[in-house]
């Protein structure tokens, strides 16, 4: 991965809340220099102030990338302040759910290379996954640059069709929250069968993390990994009989609701 252009020309981060911080933490750990990062955020966290990035300072004239990580609802206030950088030389990358490439083209001009991206918060530990797609003036070199930046914090997949990004948002953008909720639900269930709350949480958290790591490292499919736990007529089979009757439908409705909300944000 080559981030030398980012270090040489600079990276502007507009909005550094939960998602911006997750990515920034990963970039700094992966060799992006704090002095090459300009962050614009009216409410900087204590962590952000400790990083050594250039905070709410005058911007460089020709940054390699502007990464937009404000809430879609704040976009109309925040984005116009960077319109002068929409001159074609700087690549804009947006991680905002719902905000379309067309909206950016309206504010910045259609000559601006724009890449819409949907990351997730495991970027903070370099285990995110981000889907990207570009507007017509985003070249292969622009896509490669965005990919290099986002690969520093995890995997990157490319989409042909911008419409798909709402579904990606519903699945992997929001997905970490589904998994964290599963930890909460498993811990509560452990309490229900008689374990102390702290122990139940420790067991639930380690189980989800361990299973995630096994799925990450193993060449076997998720289905096979599930089968490997399930002894015929054993305890897992008894548990899965309950879970598999409900979870597929529940998960389908969960992802659909998040996808629909992403579509609404884009209107």
Ligand X SMILES: NC(=O)C1=CN([C@@H]2O[C@H](COP(=O)(O)OP(=O)(O)OC[C@H]3O[C@@H](n4cnc5c(N)ncnc54)[C@H](O)[C@@H]3O)[C@@H](O)[C@H]2O)C=CC1
Judged by the rule CB under 6 A, the positions of this chain that interact with ligand X are: 14-20, 40-43, 69-72, 74, 77-78, 95-97, 118-121, 173
- Residue 267, CB-side half-sphere exposure with 13 Å CA sphere: 5
Sequence-distant (6+) residues with CB within 8 A of 209 are: none
Question: CB 128 → ligand X: shortest distance, Å?
Answer: 9
Question: CB 43 → ligand X: shortest distance, Å?
Answer: 4
7 has binding-site annotation: no
14 has binding-site annotation: yes
Q: What share of the chain is helix, strand, coil (3-state, %, to 5)?
A: 55, 15, 30
71 has binding-site annotation: yes
The two three-digit tokens of residue 182, written as one number: 């599963």
15 has binding-site annotation: yes
Interacting residues toward ligand A1CAB by CB under 6 A: 97, 169, 173-174
Question: CB 256 → ligand A1CAB: shortest distance, Å?
Answer: 15
> How many Å apart are CA 242 and CA 262, to the nearest integer?
31
117: β partners: 132
14: β partners: 40, 68
Q: Which does 70 bind (CB under 5 to 8 A by kind): ligand X, ligand A1CAB, none?
A: ligand X
Residue nearest to ligand X (CB): 17
The two three-digit tokens of residue 206, written as one number: 């380690």
In the bound state with ligand A1CAB, the residue whose beta carbon lies nearer, of 135 and 259, is 259
Using DSSP's 3-state secondary structure scheme, residue 130 falls into strand
In the bound state with ligand X, the residue whose beta carbon lies nearer, of 18 and 188, is 18
Question: CB 42 → ligand A1CAB: shortest distance, Å?
Answer: 20
> How many Å apart are CA 97 and CA 166, to the nearest integer?
7
Q: Which does 108 bind (CB under 5 to 8 A by kind): ligand A1CAB, ligand X, none?
A: none
Residues of each annotated binding site for NADP(+): 14-19, 69-72
């Amino acid at each position: 991965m080559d981030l030398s252009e980012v270090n040489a020309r600079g990276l502007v981060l507009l909005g550094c809340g939960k998602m911006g911080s997750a990515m920034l933490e990963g970039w700094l750990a992966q060799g992006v220099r704090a002095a090459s990062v300009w962050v614009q955020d009216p409410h900087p966290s204590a962590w952000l102030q400790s990083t050594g990035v250039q905070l709410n300072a005058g911007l460089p004239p020709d940054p390699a990338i502007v990464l937009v990580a404000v809430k879609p609802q704040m976009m109309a206030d925040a984005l116009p302040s960077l319109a002068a950088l929409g001159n074609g030389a700087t690549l804009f990358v947006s991680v905002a759910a719902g905000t379309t490439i067309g909206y950016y083209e309206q504010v910045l001009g259609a000559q601006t290379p724009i890449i819409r991206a949907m990351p997730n918060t495991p970027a903070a530990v370099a285990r995110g996954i981000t889907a990207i797609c570009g507007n017509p003036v985003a070249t292969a070199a622009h896509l490669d640059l965005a990919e290099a930046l986002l690969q520093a914090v995890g995997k990157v997949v490319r989409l042909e069709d911008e419409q798909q990004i709402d579904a990606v948002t519903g699945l992997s953008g929001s997905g970490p929250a589904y998994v964290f909720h599963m930890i909460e639900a498993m811990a509560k269930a452990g309490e229900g069968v008689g374990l102390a709350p702290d122990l139940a949480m420790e067991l639930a958290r380690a189980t989800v993390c361990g299973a995630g790591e096994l799925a990450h490292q193993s060449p076997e499919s998720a289905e096979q990994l599930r089968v490997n736990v399930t002894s015929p007529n054993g305890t897992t089979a008894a548990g899965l009989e309950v879970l598999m009757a409900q979870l597929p439908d529940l998960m389908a409705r969960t992802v659909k609701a998040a996808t629909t909300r992403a579509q609404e944000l884009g209107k």
